[in-house]
Amino acid sequence: AGPDGPTCYLVPLDRPGITVTPLRGVDQTRRFSDLTLTEVELDSAALIGEPGAGDAMHDDLLDLAAVLALGEMAGAFQHAFDITRDWVANRYSFGRPLDSYQEIKHRMADLRTELEATEAIAWRSAAAVGSGASNGRELACAGMVHAGRRVPEGIQDCIQLHGGIGVTHDSDLHLFLRRAVLDANLYGTPAEFARRLGRLIAATIEGDAA
């Protein structure tokens, strides 16, 4: 934070005092690093936005990040569901396709319901945040609470419906699960987004009562 309060800067990685240490993450398709800054000097050209506007910019960027994470989780869930739907339709047990059994039908119906709910809130929050709607931030938080909990669970259900092959690298399901688990926690856990949503709702109620 500068003298005017929290401020955003664009920091080139080749500046003296910056150390980048590669990390291993749950999602093998992404790269992550630990960034350490030691007495890094920046000039005014690195300033992003207005001095002291860091908190507001952080909140706006978090809304966008949440919307993008929601979209990725919805897409991962959709792909996992499609793979599983094909699997239970073409895999036979005792001379019958798996999806002919009532239990499998019920589980696939439950998964479809969860998928539809995830896609709906992902689209709605993206539209609200993108248009600058007053409830965009609340919708983004609500979406992360729902998807952050249900999408990893839903993809795990897809893996279970595959049986043994679902937990091997012969199946791509683990890639979608890894991406969903990462997206669900990358910008804050579902519990943290729930608390943020609670603070936003409380502030709205207090404002209406004033």
Domains located in the chain, CATH noted: 8-48 (no CATH), 54-209 (1.20.140.10)
Pairing, β 32-37 against β 96-97: unpaired
- Minimal CA–CA distance to 159: which of 141, 142, 181? 181
Using N-to-C axis directions, what is the helix angle for 136-161 and 102-131, rounded to 10°?
Answer: 160
Separation in Å, CA 114 to CA 63, 72, 146, 150, 168 = 22, 15, 10, 7, 25
For residue 116, what are its two tokens? Answer: 């539809």
Please write the tens of the pLDDT for every residue from 9-67. 999 999 999 999 999 989 988 999 999 999 999 888 999 989 999 999 999 999 999 99
Q: Distance between CA 159 and CA 180 in Å, rounded?
A: 13
- Higher-confidence residue of 208 and 130: namely 130
Q: In terms of residues, how long is the chain?
A: 210
Cβ atoms within 10 A of the Cβ of 178, count?
A: 19
Task: Check residue 54 and give left, alpha or beta (phi > 0: left; psi -120 to 50: alpha).
Answer: alpha
The whole-number pLDDT of residue 209 equals 73
Could you say which DSSP state residue 35 is in? E
* pTM for the predicted model, two decimal places: 0.90
- Minimal CA–CA distance to 194: which of 120, 151, 147, 141? 141
Given a contact cutoff of 8 angstroms between Cβ atoms, the answer to whether 152 and 118 are in contact is no
Where b means 16+ CB within 10 Å and e means fewer, 35-53 reads eeeeeeeeeeeeeeeeeeb
Please write the tens of the pLDDT for every residue from 145-197. 999 999 999 999 999 999 989 888 889 999 999 999 999 999 999 999 999 99
Please write the tens of the pLDDT for every residue from 125-154. 999 999 999 999 999 999 999 999 999 999
